[in-house]
Amino acid sequence: MVREAFNTLTKIHSRSVTLKRLGSPDLSTTCRITPSNYFRNLEGPSHTTIKGREFVISIDSIAVPFTPVIKRGDKLIDTQLGSMAIDEIIEMYDFGGAIMGYRVRAE
């Protein structure tokens, strides 16, 4: 029930991108990204600005499963925003503890 609600909410304000993993061979699939509430530059310790964009990605929106699903260094390729490398990943769990999505920071 929580996962279905999560998927419904993320579809409302999302866009389709290509998720690409560089390697041998390169892997790519499509997924939907939703801007998170932190879709801005953040200020960190000692007035350090943390640049990048944060997105929420539902596991169910990823067309072809990766193993691991998302990892640091994967690229999000958007027709308008360009190519962004994922550098931070936070798992999002449902009530049963299963991963239903990820909050990612990309730059």
- Hey, what amino acid is at 3? R
In this prediction, residues 20-27 reach a mean pLDDT of 89
In sequence order, the 6+-apart residues with CB closer than 8 A to the CB of 107 are 51, 52, 53, 84, 85, 87
Q: What percent of the chain has pLDDT over 90?
A: 68
* 34-63: pLDDT as tens digits: 998 754 555 566 666 667 889 999 999 998
- Average pLDDT, rounded, for the chain: 88
Q: Is 99's pLDDT higher than 80?
A: yes
Kindly report the pTM of this predicted structure.
Answer: 0.84
Q: Is 32's pLDDT higher than 60?
A: yes
Residue keyed to tokens 């390729």: 77
Give the three-state DSSP class for 66. Answer: coil
Given this model, what pLDDT does residue 47 score? 65
In this prediction, residues 57-78 reach a mean pLDDT of 90
What are the residue ranges spanned by the domains of the chain? 2-106
